[in-house]
Amino acid sequence: MSKKHLYILTIFLTLTGAGIFAAKLFVLGLPITPQKKSDLWEIEAHITFKGKGGPVKVSQILAQNQGRFSIVDQAFISPGYGLSTVLEKPNKHIVFSKRKVSGEQNLYYRLTVLDKGLKKTKKKRDVPIIDPVDWQGARLVAAQAILDAAVANSADSQTLVSSVIKLLDSKEYSSHVSVLYGKNGTLESKAEVVAGILSLAKLPARSVHGIDLRHSNYQPSFSHWLEIYDNEMWQPYSLTTGQSTELENHFPWWRGPMPFVQINGGKKLVTKLSVSWGEESAILSVRKASDTLEKALLNISFLSLPLDVQQVYRVMVVAPLGAILLVFLRNVIGIGTFGTFMPVLMAMSFRETELLWGILLFTIIISISLVVRIYFESLKLMVVPRLSALLIVVIMVMAGLSILGHKLDMGGGLSVALFPMVILTMTVERISILWDERGPAQAIKHGIGSLAVASICYVAMTQDQVEHLLFVFPELLLILLAFTLLLGRYTGYRLMELVRFRALAK
């Protein structure tokens, strides 16, 4: 195979990639930089369950316009299901129904939410009617006791709320609390309990369930908080601090003790949420696309995929950039690393752990496991059992670090679970072989090389601009492929070899 062939291939790949990129840029007008000033969010609820072969009815609560948040668009993906909406104050439900359902089912509900900003609109509201809680016996007594104590050290409704929350968290009332919560003390049940106690004091209160929009591009779970009718307005209160602030970026979805989704005739119900901070013009242009060329171009993008799949690809599309950097650092610079893709995989897990934590945890795991591996060496174990034993040790070290990190209240410790354990095991094995065969200096040099490459890949892969470009314009991967192929035929010196052979240049 001649070099000419390779050059033609790379030119073809580059032109194709650049062509599609240009078309999307100029025809569709997709933005080339991440849109910082955007107030749009795409929220998606993905409901999965297993049908039992009979009729199924799934009732899910719909989001509604909420003061500063307005719903620009909503859509359902529910092949073969009949849809109907049911109003159940204060919430609105959508009911998906189908006569015969078996096997795994997927329902999607996607909505686009616009944040209009903080405008205090003093619209006249219905006077809230809160049904009194039907607590009896021990529960009522416990609730009343907490309420009395709270009333005793509060001045107004604001301080009453925070003192009820404080009392629920205090040790003093733990037996009362366990009576009120029942078995599972989730934040959701806490919301109902607080609302119930406050309604005993004739203070209109309700639980609210929604999404914290502060972190974009992640898979959140529902947040729960409280609303108190005070000063002719519903005021949000945090369930952990009892304060009315810091809930500004929370999008309220529904209110009251109802669960988000209920099912009749199915099992194994799972709800997965995903939130993505909208790239406004990108999303809008998806909606605008009308003629065939535009539609065809849009097919070469991730924007039409379900949100949770989109999020997977957001991470995945930057990996090729890490790979090409790895090729460059190994074959052109000449940095020695352990394993071919180990540094890229490490860089990807550094995304979760943050760089410094990642390097620290990586070093700790490798060091401890290496000590054990050196001990294993003296046991003269056969290869496969030795690797399996090492894998067990690596997992135990990871688990130990997570538990220790949690106990010491260091968030970084927990994220160690995201390290690729098999890759770590192979790395320990390779380090120890290198250690034996070429001495500690070489092994440590390679170890530092791997970490350096992982760090460089991490920095490159976490640039917003990079992620945006590769995600919105995945055709750029063709250009990356072309470069990688070219690097595959690079036969010049590696930078490190210039050092190695410098004595020969005379």
Binding site for other proteins (CB under 8 A): 331, 334, 380, 382-384, 387, 433, 436-439, 489-494, 497-498, 500-506
Residue whose CB is less far from other proteins, 3 or 125: 3
Residue whose CB is less far from other proteins, 408 or 505: 505
CA neighbor of 94 nearest in space, from 79, 80, 109, 106: 109
CA–CA separation, 71 vs 113, rounded Å? 5
| Beta-sheet pairing, 91-98 with 56-62 | antiparallel
Distances, alpha carbon 159 to alpha carbons 143, 156, 377, in Å:
17, 6, 65
Residue whose CB is less far from other proteins, 52 or 438: 438
By the 8 A CB rule, do 46 and 308 touch? yes
Shortest reach from residue 367's CB to other proteins, in Å? 24
Shortest reach from residue 10's CB to other proteins, in Å? 16
Q: Is 83 helix (H, G, I), strand (E, B) or coil?
A: strand
Shortest reach from residue 385's CB to other proteins, in Å? 9
By the 8 A CB rule, do 307 and 274 touch? yes
Q: Is 202 left (phi over 0), alpha (psi -120 to 50) or beta?
A: left
Shortest reach from residue 28's CB to other proteins, in Å? 40
Residue whose CB is less far from other proteins, 232 or 437: 437
Those residues whose C-beta lies under 8 Å from the C-beta of residue 295, and which sit 6 or more positions away, are 289
Longest dimension (CA), the chain: 97
Residue whose CB is less far from other proteins, 247 or 431: 431
CA–CA separation, 473 vs 409, rounded Å? 40
CA–CA separation, 19 vs 14, rounded Å? 8
Shortest reach from residue 500's CB to other proteins, in Å? 6
| Beta-sheet pairing, 82-88 with 102-115 | unpaired
| Beta-sheet pairing, 250-255 with 205-212 | antiparallel
Residue whose CB is less far from other proteins, 319 or 487: 487
Shortest reach from residue 425's CB to other proteins, in Å? 13
By the 8 A CB rule, do 332 and 487 touch? yes
Q: Is 201 left (phi over 0), alpha (psi -120 to 50) or beta?
A: alpha
Shortest reach from residue 1's CB to other proteins, in Å? 9
By the 8 A CB rule, do 126 and 204 touch? no
Shortest reach from residue 334's CB to other proteins, in Å? 8
Residue whose CB is less far from other proteins, 411 or 439: 439
- Paired strand residues for 340: none
Residue whose CB is less far from other proteins, 18 or 496: 496
Structure tokens at 181: 């919560």
Shortest reach from residue 431's CB to other proteins, in Å? 14
Residue whose CB is less far from other proteins, 127 or 505: 505
